[in-house]
Amino acid sequence: MSALLDVDQLMDKLEAGLRGLLNERGIESPVLIGIRTGGVWVADIIGKRLGIEEPFGELDISFYRDDFSRIGLNPKVTPSSLPFDTEGRDIILVDDVIMSGRTIRAAMNELFDYGRPASIILATLIDLGARELPIQPDVAGQSLTLGMQQRVKLRGPDPLRIELQETEQ
Amino acid sequence: MTANAASPNHLQLTRDGQLRHFLTLDGLGRELLTDILDTADSFIEVGERSIKKVPLLRGRTVVNLFFEASTRTRSTFELAAKRLSADVLNLDINTSATSKGESLSDTLLNLEAMASDMFVVRHAQSGAPHFIAQSVTPGVAIINAGDGRHAHPTQAMLDMLTIRQHKGGFEGLKVAIVGDILHSRVARSQIRALNELGAEQIRVIAPGTLLPRDVESLGCTVEYDMARGMKDLDVVIMLRLQKERMEGALLPSEREFYRLYGLSQDKLALAHPECIVMHPGPINRGVEIESAVADGPQSVILNQVTNGIAIRMAVMSMAMGGQVAERQQKLNELSGLNERGLA
């Protein structure tokens, strides 16, 4: 099974949801931060759609993961890059998929080491449920419940496509 | 990656090739050295944040075990451990237990009893960190902060990071190491790293009395004449004249040494115009290097110090990561055996 979900449709929903929320909260100049790797691709597209001209930031959460004491350090860490001061800003934090919520916890811990943002909105392209922490996206392109053997993965960056895979056993 | 009992990697790498101690660059391949440099790049970015700290070693205890005096290395190791959120204990053994007659093994047993997770070891005896790594409790990581004339791997790696930052890579680079090669553990580690990372030419420039016998076997060429050696250089690394280690007539006089091998502006002008000047510190102005060069536009000496923190954060977190991953793997295997009723 593959390409069950249409990326453009999900982006449409994510864009509409974000526009509504920004409007409702009266946020005029948000900045985008994508979580590597998939979240960065989504942030790039959403930024263009929302007409945000400020370059987006990229977070590599390797130093903040909660499984260091089980698996050690990710050998392929790359520097995070936030080309703006986060202090007092309204941030849209973007990831491709949310499941346990652990990645978002790590990302928020990292974000606060750069300063104190005014607010953070969490936007994900796909919400797979199966949460292990009390963290929920404010906007999601699509909610999805996977079977035990199913896995979903965003491939990209060009073209961006969603793969739904059946695993063995 | 294969590791046999005789290679240093048997000790410093896990079965799947992750770092678990950092003792020497011998036997570490280009890929792992590059991983260390890449990880350090990420820690440089951390050093630019308003909060320069990550939680990787939170709740772990790092002991700086210095059997030999050092300011720069010890303070950058201390800062590195603190920026990784570890608790840090600094022990200057010269003025401590060993002077009361306690043996190295007993000192270590006591420190292990304080639930230490990592020892950063500097020792005048070559091989002391190896010895400790062999006898230490499993799960405790050992980092070599300089042992005798043998190795100073974190210094060499911070130098590699500095070169990569300024030159973009190592391909085609001509590098010279100048001065007291004989007493230098730094030079040995640098030559090893430069060869592994693919520098084109590595020259050592020194008087015969300050060269170890058979130095070419380390993978470098020898030049006695500094003017010839400086030609077309991309990187020149000056070494400190280790006056405290000089025995007998290795050196005519400091003035004579400076005239022949000191890095003056005139001599630097013979190198490539964009040649960078490095020195592991502490510098002896007017002995190895002219002040105008040390403070000049081609000098990257202070970059080296900043990079030292990032490299030490990288090596410490990678070695600790290797230890915890290995421990978890063993636990998993044990529980697998339990499930099958074999243990």
Q: Which domain range does residue A137 map to?
A: 10-67+83-146
- Is B324's CB within 8 Å of A69's CB? yes
Name the CATH topology of B153-304: Rossmann fold (3.40.50)
In a domain, A156, yes or no: no
| pLDDT-derived band at B3, boundaries 50, 70, 90 | very low
Residue A164, domain member (yes or no):
no
Q: Chain A contact for B38, CB < 8 A? A: yes
Which of A62, A77, A113 lies at the smallest CB-CB distance from B49?
Answer: A113
pLDDT in tens, B260-276: 999 999 999 999 999 99
Task: Report the range of poorest mean pLDDT among A27-31, A54-58, B5-9, B193-197.
Answer: B5-9
User: DSSP strand E in B33-101: where?
Assistant: 61-66, 87-92
| Ranges of chain A with pLDDT below 50 | 1-3
Of the candidates B37, B67, B320, the residue with the CA atom closest to the CA atom of residue B196: B37
* A58 belongs to a structural domain: yes
Q: How many CB atoms lie within 10 A of CB A24?
A: 8
Question: Quick one: pLDDT at residue B56?
Answer: 96
Q: Is the ipTM beyond the 0.90 threshold?
A: no
Spatial contact of A15 and A9, defined as CB atoms under 8 Å apart = no
| pLDDT exceeds cutoff 60 at B7 | no
Convert the pLDDT of each residue in B79-105 to its tens digit. 999 999 999 999 887 755 565 667 777
Q: How far apart are CA A30 and CA A139, in angstroms?
A: 15
Output the CA angle B283-B306-B53, nearest 5 degrees.
145
Given 3.40.50.1370, 3.90.550.10, 3.10.20.30, 3.40.50.720, which CATH number is that of B9-151+308-316? 3.40.50.1370
Q: Identity (one letter) of the amino acid at B296?
A: G
A40 contacts A34 by C-beta, under 8 angstroms: yes
Cis amide bond preceding A37, omega within 30: yes
Ranking A133-147, B11-25, B322-336 by mean pLDDT, the lowest is: B322-336
CB-CB neighbours of B342 under 10 Å: 8
Within 10 A of B134 (CB to CB), how many other CB atoms are there? 11
Chain mean pLDDT for chain B? 90
Q: Report yes or no on A111 lying in a domain.
A: yes
Q: Pick left, alpha or beta for residue B140 (phi over 0 → left; psi -120 to 50 → alpha; otherwise beta).
A: beta
Is A52 among the domain residues?
yes
Give the Cα separation of B179 and B328 in Å (integer).
Answer: 46
Which residues on A lie below 8 Å from B321 (Cβ)? 68, 71-73
pLDDT of residue B129: 94
- pLDDT tens sequence across B121-172: 999 889 999 999 998 988 999 999 999 989 999 999 999 999 999 999 999 9
Q: Tell me the domain boundaries of chain B.
A: 9-151+308-316, 153-304
For position B245, what pLDDT does the model report?
64
Residue type at A4?
A: L
Residue B21 contacts residue B12 (beta carbons within 8 Å): yes
pLDDT of residue A2: 45
Please name the helix (run of DSSP H) or strand (run of DSSP E) that holds residue B227, with its range, or none.
helix B226-229
Q: How far apart are CA B32 and CA B197, in angstroms?
A: 10
B230 or B332, which is more confident?
B230
Chain A CB contacts of B85 below 8 Å: none
Band (B5; pLDDT cuts 50, 70, 90): very low
Domain presence at residue A161: no
Task: Check pLDDT > 70 for residue B2.
Answer: no
CA distances to B31, B153, B247 from B244, in Å: 37, 22, 8
Q: What are the two backbone dihedrals, phi and then psi, of residue B196, each rounded to the nearest 5 degrees?
A: -65, -35
Query: Taking residues B315-339, what's their average pLDDT?
Result: 90
Radius of gyration of chain A (CA): 16
Q: Is A63 on the interface with B (CB under 8 A)?
A: yes
Q: Which residues of A fall within a CB distance of 8 Å from B38?
A: 76-78
* Fold match flag (B9-151+308-316 vs B153-304): yes
Minimal CA separation from A61 to chain B, in Å: 10
Q: Which pLDDT score is estimated for B335?
A: 84
Task: Name A124's bridge partners.
Answer: A95, A140
Residue A152: inside a domain, yes or no?
Answer: no
Q: What is the DSSP letter of B93?
A: G
Name the residue of chain B whose CA is nearest to A107's CA: B54
Confidence of residue B57 (pLDDT cuts 50, 70, 90): very high
CATH classification at residue A130: 3.40.50.2020
Among B263, B275, B295, smallest CA distance to B179 is for B263
Q: How far is B39 from chain A (nearest CA, A)?
A: 6
**Mutation choice for B interface testing from A68, A74, A76, A116 by most B CBs within 10 A:** A68
Would the pLDDT of B74 be above 60?
A: yes
Tally of domains within chain A: 1
Contact partners, residue A88, CB within 8 Å, separation at least 6: A115, A116, A117, A118
